[in-house]
Amino acid sequence: MRGDEKNFRISATITCAEDVVVARQRGRTLARAMGFSPSDATLVAAAISELARNIVRYAERGELLIGKDDDGMLFVVARDQGPGIADVESAMRPGYSTSGGLGMGLPGVKRIADSFEIVSNSTGTTVTMRKRKR
């Protein structure tokens, strides 16, 4: 994992359960450094956990980019070259899961994000979320 919390930028390769934990912990630290409250930093960490887990579960391998954008918002980009999400609309519906999961992962992330976007096709998936400091 590379990154520089001082420059508000983290990039991490995600391939296993340990990577998920490390990424969310670093994301929380970054959120705190950006001035997010402990509660909102925990929320950011949970969102990172969901996105990183989806990489491991559905694509086996992918990349997370966490940072501060020009508007001062925190962004998380989760990118993989996995099989893609067949039905994005369903995947965003609370309770929908193709893996026996809770189906609350992506809907939860969308719910807490100030902006949220999924691009998914047969060559991979990219999820981008942004969260404003309150």
Partner 1 sequence: MAVPILKQGDVLIASIQSALTDVDLVALRDALVERVASHRTRGVIVDVTSLDVVDSFASRTLRDLAHMIRLRGARTVIVGIQPDVAFAMVQLGLTLEDIPTALDLEEGLAFLAAGRHAR
Binding site for partner 1 (CB under 8 A): 17-18, 20-21, 24-25, 28, 38-39, 41-43, 45-47, 49-50, 53, 94, 101-105, 107-109, 111-112
Coil vs helix vs strand at 124: strand
Minimal distance, residue 68 CB to partner 1, in Å: 20
Minimal distance, residue 9 CB to partner 1, in Å: 21
The beta strands (E) that lie in the chain are given as 2-4, 9-14, 62-68, 74-80, 115-121, 124-131
Identity of the residue, 123 or 132, whose beta carbon is nearer to partner 1 in the bound complex: 132
**On the CB side of 110, how many CA atoms lie within 13 Å of its CA?**
14
Identity of the residue, 17 or 121, whose beta carbon is nearer to partner 1 in the bound complex: 17
Minimal distance, residue 41 CB to partner 1, in Å: 8
Identity of the residue, 25 or 81, whose beta carbon is nearer to partner 1 in the bound complex: 25
CA 28 vs CA 14, 86, 107: distances in Å: 17, 31, 20
Minimal distance, residue 115 CB to partner 1, in Å: 16
Coil vs helix vs strand at 16: coil
Identity of the residue, 77 or 104, whose beta carbon is nearer to partner 1 in the bound complex: 104
Distance between CA atoms of residues 55 and 81, nearest Å: 9
